[in-house]
């Protein structure tokens, strides 16, 4: 009986780690899922950094255009609404 108990215990100790890994590839799949998610997150962060730099440049350009309009004392009242809209939308020169 004691030998049988020891043998059963030994078998359980050796079988337990094997049962934990399962051998069905789920660990590999889980790592692939994590890696893919990390890659997507890295790409999103890179895009966010690029967009942040573009936003900074857009603000700087807007400030410079506004300063040029003020410095040139542009007669906005003489412009048509379409002309003013084009200047605001950055589709036309602010100062000529």
- Residue-wise pLDDT for 13-52, tens only, equals 665 555 555 678 899 999 999 999 999 999 999 999 999 9
| 34, 80, 83, 94 from 77: Cα distances, Å | 59, 8, 11, 14
What is the pTM assigned to this prediction? 0.57
The C-alpha atoms of residue 29 and residue 36 are separated, in whole angstroms, by 11
C-beta of residue 21 within 8 angstroms of C-beta of residue 27? yes
% residues pLDDT > 70 (the chain): 78
Question: Tokens 């200047």, residue?
Answer: 87
C-beta of residue 67 within 8 angstroms of C-beta of residue 87? no
- Spell out the residues 6+ positions from residue 71 whose beta carbon is closer than 8 angstroms to its own: 95
């Amino acid at each position: 009986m004691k030998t049988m108990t020891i043998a059963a215990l030994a078998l359980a100790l050796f079988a337990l780690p094997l049962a934990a890994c399962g051998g069905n590839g789920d660990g590999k799949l889980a790592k692939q899922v994590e890696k893919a998610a990390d890659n997507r997150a890295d790409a999103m962060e890179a895009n966010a950094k690029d967009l942040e730099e573009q936003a900074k440049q857009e603000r700087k350009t807007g400030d410079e255009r506004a300063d040029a309009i003020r410095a040139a004392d542009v007669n906005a009242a003489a412009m048509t609404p379409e002309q003013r809209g084009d200047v605001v939308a950055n589709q036309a020169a602010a100062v000529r």
